[in-house]
């Protein structure tokens, strides 16, 4: 379903953005990200964020799709990510498809 695709992409985006932070990267992988990796993750997260409402817009039209994604779905997904990050940072990272950094 297109709505599910939007939600998943939003999660991936937030995951990339969150794990670019040293604190959360350390919690998931044991060490902070290099500057280059952090920048890659932020860019990936930003792009994903911009693209994620598109499936919903295709499903429900721009008015309903974008409005719902922006105002209601995005905050919910972000809060859900925080919960996951707090209790199971590695799982949160894996779900966000963030690859384990090379040693």
Partner 1 sequence: MKKTFTLSMTFLHTWGGLVMGWLLFGVLLTGSIAVFQDEINLWAVPEIRTGLNPDRATTLQLGVDHLNAQAPDARMWRIDLPRDRDPQLIVAWTTPQGKTTSHTLDPVSGGVIERKTQAGAFYLAYHYMLGIDRNENLAGFMIVGLSGIFMIAACVSGIVIHKRIFKDLFLFRPNASGQRAWLDMHNVLGVLPLPFHLMMAYTGIVILYWIYIPAAVQTLYAGDSVPFRAEAIALEYRGLKAPAGEPAAMLPLPQLMRAAETSMGADKTAYIYVRDPNRGNAVFDAYRDRDDRVTQQVEQVALDGVTGAVLRIRDDSAISRVQSYIAALHFVEWGGAAVRWAYGLAGMASTGMVAAGLVVFTEKRRRKAGGDAAWLTWVDKINVAAVAGISVACVALLWAERLTPVFPERAQIPVLAFYWTWAAMALHAALRPPRKAWGEQFVLAGLLCLGAPLLGGQGWRHLAALDGVRMGMDATLIGTGLLCLAGVWILHRRARAGPCQPEAAEVEDAVEALRCLSPPAC
Q: What is the per-residue binding string for partner 1 in 61-100, x denoting contact by CB under 8 A?
A: x-xx--xx-xxxx-xx-xx-xxx-xxx-------------
Among 9, 11, 24, 41, binds partner 1 (CB under 8 A): 24
Give the range of 11-19, 32-40, 45-53, 94-102 binding partner 1 by CB under 8 A. Answer: 11-19
Q: How far apart are CA 35 and CA 48, in angstroms?
A: 20
Q: How far apart are CA 6 and CA 77, in angstroms?
A: 11
Query: Any idea which residue has 């670019």 for tokens?
Result: 20
Query: Any idea which residue has 């809060």 for tokens?
Result: 79
Q: What is the per-residue binding string for partner 1 in 44-63, x denoting contact by CB under 8 A?
A: ----------------xx-x
- Neighbouring C-beta atoms of residue 45, cutoff 10 Å: 21
């Amino acid at each position: 379903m297109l709505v599910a695709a939007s939600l998943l992409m939003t999660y991936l985006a937030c995951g990339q953005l969150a794990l670019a932070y040293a604190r959360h990267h350390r919690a998931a992988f044991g060490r902070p990200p290099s500057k280059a990796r952090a920048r890659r993750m932020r860019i990936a997260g930003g792009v994903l964020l911009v693209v994620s409402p598109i499936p919903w817009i295709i499903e429900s039209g721009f008015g309903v799709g974008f409005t719902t994604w922006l105002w209601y779905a995005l905050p919910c997904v972000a809060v859900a990510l925080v919960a996951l990050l707090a209790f199971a940072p590695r799982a949160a990272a894996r779900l966000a498809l963030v690859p384990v950094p090379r040693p």
